[in-house]
Structure 1
Amino acid sequence: MLDVFIGQHENKIDGKARLSIPSQFRKIIESGDTDREAGSLPNFVLIFGDERTDYLEGLTIKQYNKMTRKLRKMDKGDPRRQQMELILYSLAQLMTLDETGRIVMPPKGRAKLALNANDMVEFTGAGDSFRVKKAAGEAERQAERPAAKPDIGYHPDTNPMDYFSGDDEDDED
């Protein structure tokens, strides 16, 4: 089984603010809640982020704990640590999947994404996390233009996947 979030999925938020998490994502959430007692419902962390993001970010408990450990290694006076503490602790909420794989979208998340009943929500895999945002309507999709890509040093005729380096051994936590 993959232990990373991949793909794009759309689901509709209902009148009670319930939102179904894609089944592929639920499996990763379940396996990433390693301290969960048998028979209990899986948890994950939903990060609302600050004004720089137009999405919410979901992290497994395992990944959230890994980020917390990294944060604790930073100097307490480092302004980057203070910003990350705000995002990871104040602008986040522990979520529990119900028996059918749904969550009730918190008011803070609905407000940030301007979600109303029956709006479509897009889930996008981002490896160690997934992103949640309001799905673009058809008119918005047609109006969207590809953003200019920054020059990041890839040769234009080379597949970016060719830049992976190192050995083939897994990096275990």
Structure 2
Amino acid sequence: MAMAEAFRGEFYQKVDSKARVSIPAAFRRILEADDQPLGETARPRVYLVYGGKSRTFVECYSRRGADALAAEIEAMDMGSTERTRAERDLISRSVMVEIEPDGRIVLPPKVREKMGFQGDDLASGGEAAFAGFTNRFRLYRREVYDAELAEEDDDDTDPLTLVGRHKRSG
């Protein structure tokens, strides 16, 4: 099943002292379209993947995106080292969060830890960066995102020349 729309753009949002952050409206619309709530009290959800030691971000999926990722992992060889690692880092080390009616979510402790929001960081206020990645978006602490963008190697390659080089099989 195709995704409703691609997550696009960069957004910056304040994280308050209670670890709440507003999901950008453009991303919220996609999350809502990919997770039709059943019943009056059900809310759309976002799936936050905080696994992966070298990752400096949290990977965020709609319900449909999270289900597609799980299906890809289930297609891997049972018991293989690769599948076990994928299950551990992408399934076990993830959390589903309901989106409040006002568009905010509360960042769970493991997500805050991955983003580097600890104790005093929240009291003084911080900022999160939301970065669209087609079928998912990444959530960073703003300083980390800005530093990674500044470090990116600009090798004068036009990014359009990279598109289509690696077609997926299947």
Scaled by the length of structure 2, what TM-score is found? Answer: 0.81
Change (3 A) 1:27 1:148: same
The structure with the greater share of residues assigned to helix is 2
Can you give the 5+ residue segments of structure 2 that lack an aligned partner in the other structure? Answer: 165-170
Q: Which residue of 2 aligns with 1:103?
A: 105
Q: CA deviation at 1:145?
A: 4.3
Q: Tell me, what secondary structure is at the counterpart of 2:138?
A: strand
Structure possessing the higher radius of gyration over alpha carbons: 1
Q: Which residue of 2 aligns with 1:113?
A: 115
Measured in 2, the distance between the counterparts of 1:142 and 1:13 equals 19
Letter in 1 for 2:38: E
Q: After the TM superposition, list the runs of 4 or more consecutive aligned residues in structure 1 that deviate by more than 4 angstroms.
A: 140-145, 162-165
Moved more, 1-10 or 69-78: 1-10
**Deviation per CA, 1:77-122, whole angstroms, max 9, x where unpaired?**
2211111100222100011000101011111111121212210110
Change (3 A) 1:127 1:67: same
Scaled by the length of structure 1, what TM-score is found? Answer: 0.79
Q: Which residue of 1 aligns with 2:153?
A: 148
Letter in 1 for 2:73: L
Q: Tell me, what secondary structure is at the counterpart of 2:47?
A: strand
Q: Tell me, what secondary structure is at the counterpart of 1:4?
A: coil
Change (3 A) 1:46 1:75: same
Of 46, 69, 72, the match for 1:70: 72
Q: How does 1:22-171 map to 2 (within 5 A)?
A: 22-34=24-36, 36-39=37-40, 40-115=42-117, 116-117=121-122, 118-136=125-143, 145-148=150-153, 156=157, 159-161=158-160, 164=163
The number of residue pairs the alignment matches comes to 156
Can you give the 5+ residue segments of structure 1 that lack an aligned partner in the other structure? Answer: 166-173
Calculate percent identity across the aligned residue pairs.
26
Measured in 2, the distance between the counterparts of 1:15 and 1:134 equals 15
Change (3 A) 1:51 1:162: closer
